[in-house]
Structure 1
Amino acid sequence: MTAFLTRALDHIRDDVRALHAYQVHSAAGLLKMDAMENPYRLPEALQQALGERLGRVAINRYPGERTGELAQALARHAGMPAHNGIMLGNGSDELISLLSLAVARPGATVMAPVPGFVMYELSARYLGLNFVGVPLTADFELDEAAMQAAIQAHQPALLYLAYPNNPTANLWNPDVIERLVQAAPGLVVIDEAYQPFAARNAMGLLDRYEHVLVMRTMSKFGLAGVRIGYLMGHAEVVHHVDKLRPPYNISVLNAEAGLFALEHADVYEQQAAELRAERARLLTELAGLPGVVAFPSEGNMILTRVPDANAVHAGLKARGVLIKNVSGMHPLLAGCVRLTVGTPQENHTMLTALRGVLADLAPSVAP
């Protein structure tokens, strides 16, 4: 290590140097079933129409009015109450970072149930905030008593409630959520990233509670590569968070692609309906596999407990299928992997590979 490199590293925070970066594993040559993406592309005619439309965009100019038009189109699509405000982020990840920045006073606490989306904790720690994770129950429900006690003890400036949750994929009891909202002293963010696949949502809370924000994304809608997240809530609250947003954070191409998608929302809804049907079929198929427990899902993923998560992950990868091994994320997830719901053919391929892996493991896990 040269003196120049030592000098440079000395000025990077110790806690940052000690952190582990968010990992995105290569899926080259593999069936990608690890990231909850919509597996369907647009029909060819719409691909051509989108390409022609993007070709006409003035990419020599900074983003302007079309970004605002996208925000309003998303508000209408979500059914946002008229008196609320909306802001856009470069995916939900940027919104989570901006929310942490907005509450980043010395000693402030961010809270979320765990296991949950890792970026809630990471974004808090990046800014030196306290993070308090409150464990779910053994069946991945909110532990209301523990949550209430933690809220009372830590007075969180920011409370995240993912609805459905990631990676457990379940919707929590709405009455419990509302009681936690009533107890929370700071902002409450309902993260509805998987709303296209869920039986209900929490938009009604915006009419009743001015400290509640609802966060959604176009990623699960079918535009994961476009990176558009949006945050809705009381206009004044959103206005203050929006001050922290970098100028021009949504490119003109992304905004135009988002508007195009909303104009063809029926196509994406049909895709979501097909994925919900495939989810039901997958749950039935998984229930019949030896040593496998598939948990109820309201997302486009299924949390599954298997005899040996590490061996199943490695075995599937060797057979050309990439899934997410979540067994080390939290003690409640011991033995668990997360499976993305794909097309009928993708799901067939994944199930065939999983049956093969389980058959190979059977002698080693037999009593």
Structure 2
Amino acid sequence: MTAPLDRIRPDVQAMHAYAVQDARGLLKLDAMENPYGLPPALQAALGERLGALALNRYPGARGDDLKAALAAHVQLPEGQALMLGNGSDELIGLLSMACDLPGATVVAPAPGFVMYAMSAQLQGLRYVGVPLTADFELDEAAMLAAIEKEKPAILYLAYPNNPTANLWDREVVRRLVAAQGAQGGLVVMDEAYQPFASHSWLDEIRLDPAAHAHVLLMRTLSKFGLAGVRLGYLIGPAALVAQIDKVRPPYNVSVLNCECALFALEHADVFAQQAAAIRAERDALLARLADLPGVKVWPSDANMVLLRVQGGAQGAHERADAVFEGMKQRGVLVKNVSRMHPLLAQCLRLTVGSAEDNARMLEALRQSL
């Protein structure tokens, strides 16, 4: 007799769910969240505005208002269009759905954002991760070989990358974009951490639109400062975006999400000041970590820092486990990424917080080392 669980795909049963750590009672520095809330006056104004919404109605034309506001905010290039998602996660899923042709493959550098592989698997696409170099740079030869061999439907390039926090070499990226275009595939530039980066690929698209006719650019308002709102957006050539938009569920962005995002864009200067403060705190944190014995730290163009704790067997994770648990016992929650990929052995990922947060995190790290 068939059991209910037998109706669930075996590969789904074998998967690990996306894990969200329990942060109750801890300083939460594991998820790259903006540490700053809205000023009280803006909180009150937003609350009044949300309270006036017609929650008994489905989302309507306000979504078009948000798309127009985002287009103005990013100075959308001519010929490009924009679509909304319930966070970048939904957009990644929609891309997998739209490109799910027989034998379709997704290629991305590894380690990278876990949802590229998870969404591909759930939609039935083959996923190929191409290892980075030991210093977390793109392995250009290996990437070009994967593009040539796999002919991927989608090539994901996170810019900057998660969890390594670095921007790729522009010349290398240009060559990968050209190679993927030559074989007729899509490139998705994932700019989730754009508010903290020194360069945006949208500038490259503006400079040479013809070379980017197959390129989509994805951003989220989570790192802008609205992680709880769950709103992402996809930019690309209008003809491409129109096709992907067909698989988007109706009313996928709630009126609450939409209005929060519109409100934030109307006060973009507040969030820009917060991003500037986070960038300054990141640089100060990197300098302090560089002086800390027992760790190796990498440069960052995001609101996170990747470090490796020294000691322990090469390729293992016991040392990272011990430091992670030590920090947790001292009330600070970071992300232990040492098991995510062999290149990340003994690595922890730290979110950049406020000055007070970072001081507390550093002290917990010192004591745990």
* TM-score grouping bracket, smaller chain normalisation: over 0.9
Q: Within the alignment, does 1:130 sit opposite 2:126 as a pair?
A: yes
Q: Is the 8 A contact 1:303 1:339 kept in 2?
A: yes
C-alpha distance in structure 2 between counterparts of 1:258 and 1:61, whole Å = 19
C-alpha distance in structure 2 between counterparts of 1:53 and 1:82, whole Å = 33
Q: Is the 8 A contact 1:205 1:212 kept in 2?
A: no
| Correspondence for 1:116 | 112
Unaligned runs of 5+ in 1: 359-367
| Correspondence for 2:195 | 196
Q: In the TM superposition, what is the alpha-carbon distance from 1:11 to its structure 2 partner?
A: 1.4
Name the Cα RMSD after superposition: 0.9
| Correspondence for 2:45 | 49
Task: Give 2:263's match in structure 1, choosing from 260, 264, 277.
Answer: 260
Q: In the TM superposition, what is the alpha-carbon distance from 1:7 to its structure 2 partner?
A: 2.5
304-313 vs 238-247, greater mean Cα deviation: 304-313
Offset from partner CA, 1:288-313 (integer Å, 9 cap, x none): 11111110000000001113211111
Name the aligned partner's letter for residue 318 of structure 1. Answer: Q
Q: Within the alignment, does 1:62 sit opposite 2:65 as a pair?
A: no
Task: Give 2:98's match in structure 1, choosing from 95, 99, 102.
Answer: 102
Q: Is the 8 A contact 1:217 1:230 kept in 2?
A: yes
Give aligned-pair identity as a percent. 65
Q: In the TM superposition, what is the alpha-carbon distance from 1:167 to its structure 2 partner?
A: 0.3
Q: Is the 8 A contact 1:163 1:171 kept in 2?
A: yes
| Correspondence for 1:77 | 73
Q: Secondary structure in 1 aligned to 2:202?
A: coil
Q: Within the alignment, does 1:250 sit opposite 2:259 as a pair?
A: no
| Correspondence for 1:329 | 340
Task: Give 1:11's match in structure 2, choosing from 4, 7, 11.
Answer: 7
| Correspondence for 2:291 | 288
| Correspondence for 1:365 | none
Q: In the TM superposition, what is the alpha-carbon distance from 1:348 to its structure 2 partner?
A: 0.7
Offset from partner CA, 1:193-226 (integer Å, 9 cap, x none): 0000000000134323110000000000000000
Q: Secondary structure in 1 aligned to 2:219?
A: strand
| Correspondence for 1:362 | none
Q: Within the alignment, does 1:174 sit opposite 2:185 as a pair?
A: no
Task: Give 1:309's match in structure 2, choosing from 310, 320, 343.
Answer: 320
Q: How many residues align?
A: 354
C-alpha distance in structure 1 between counterparts of 2:302 and 2:68, whole Å = 26
Q: Is the 8 A contact 1:54 1:256 kept in 2?
A: yes
Q: Secondary structure in 1 aligned to 2:128?
A: strand
C-alpha distance in structure 1 between counterparts of 2:76 and 2:129, whole Å = 29
| Correspondence for 1:213 | 216
TM-score by length of 2: 0.95
Task: Give 2:368's match in structure 1, choosing from 345, 357, 361.
Answer: 357
Q: Within the alignment, does 1:340 sit opposite 2:351 as a pair?
A: yes
TM-score by length of 1: 0.95
C-alpha distance in structure 2 between counterparts of 1:337 and 1:86, whole Å = 35
Name the aligned partner's letter for residue 33 of structure 1. Answer: L
Offset from partner CA, 1:29-58 (integer Å, 9 cap, x none): 000000000010000000000001111111
Q: In the TM superposition, what is the alpha-carbon distance from 1:82 to its structure 2 partner?
A: 2.5
C-alpha distance in structure 2 between counterparts of 1:204 and 1:323, whole Å = 33
Q: Secondary structure in 1 aligned to 2:81?
A: strand
C-alpha distance in structure 2 between counterparts of 1:83 and 1:69, whole Å = 19
C-alpha distance in structure 2 between counterparts of 1:178 and 1:102, whole Å = 25
Unaligned runs of 5+ in 2: 311-318
Q: Secondary structure in 2 aligned to 1:72?
A: helix
Q: In the TM superposition, what is the alpha-carbon distance from 1:76 to its structure 2 partner?
A: 1.5
Q: Is the 8 A contact 1:232 1:238 kept in 2?
A: yes
Q: Within the alignment, does 1:232 sit opposite 2:221 as a pair?
A: no
C-alpha distance in structure 1 between counterparts of 2:129 and 2:71, whole Å = 31
Name the aligned partner's letter for residue 196 of structure 2. Answer: F
C-alpha distance in structure 2 between counterparts of 1:118 and 1:39, whole Å = 23
Q: Secondary structure in 2 aligned to 1:216?
A: strand
Task: Give 2:25's match in structure 1, choosing from 10, 26, 29.
Answer: 29
Q: Within the alignment, does 1:164 sit opposite 2:167 as a pair?
A: no
